[in-house]
A and B are shown apart, each in its own frame.
Chain A
Amino acid sequence: GAVVSQHPSWVICKSGTSVKIECRSLDFQATTMFWYRQFPKQSLMLMATSNEGSKATYEQGVEKDKFLINHASLTLSTLTVTSAHPEDSSFYICSASGQNSYEQYFGPGTRLTVT
């Protein structure tokens, strides 16, 4: 149980375009979903937290107009990187936690390359 999927697993886009990444909890209802960013050889940095039906809460320094997060249902959250630039190239990972649980389960990640 507790499986989280992400799609796509990797994407290459041109500078100035937008990219949408989906995160789904497959076998549980995710009341809270999280988006992280990981640069090579570094740890994970939390970007934002989202609860179903509510606006996302962004961490300090994360541009909410650039990284649009939607948590439309208890099993789906999306991250849209708008007007992507090469510096947005990174590994994006989502996680989800269920009701009354602090434990987070992570998706396999999406590798974004902006050319």
Chain B
Amino acid sequence: GIQVEQSPPDLILQEGANSTLRCNFSDSVNNLQWFHQNPWGQLINLFYIPSGTKQNGRLSATTVATERYSLLYISSSQTTDSGVYFCAVAINDYKLSFGAGTTVTVRA
């Protein structure tokens, strides 16, 4: 099956800092989603971005499908940004394969 690698595995930030999370995948995809899992376990949809660039407030994402990677940018981080960020992809069907996640801790 498709391989999904996220980096870094852990990230500690000071409040106000910017950061970039990366997701590499091993095959062409028709679905790529970024999620934030909050401390209660709820997965929050951040972006549906199989290709291109999108922005939503302090978050933005870019997927370069031809080079098989996606980046999630967090600007001016806040303590509420803490949690685990997952990248998930699908090839030719609806089944998502998740990366291992990046655990982000934002310190006040």
**Which A residues form the contact surface with B (CB < 8 A)?**
2, 32, 34, 38, 42-46, 49, 91, 93, 95, 97, 102-106, 108-109, 111
Contact = CB atoms under 8 A, between A and B. Distances in A.
Contact of B41 (A2, A42, A93): A93
B9 to A, nearest CB: 11
A101 to B, nearest CB: 9
Contact of A43 (B31, B40, B45, B99): B99
Interface string B22-53: 00000000110101000011110100101000
Nearest to A101: B48
Interface in B56-108: 86, 88, 90, 94-101
Given A46-B96, A102-B48, A109-B41, 14 more contacts: A2-B45, A32-B94, A34-B95, A34-B96, A38-B41, A43-B86, A43-B99, A43-B100, A44-B43, A44-B86, A45-B98, A91-B41, A102-B31, A104-B96
Contact residue range for chain B? Answer: 20 to 34
A2 to B, nearest CB: 8
B31 A106 contact: no
Contacts of A91: 41
A103 B96 contact: no
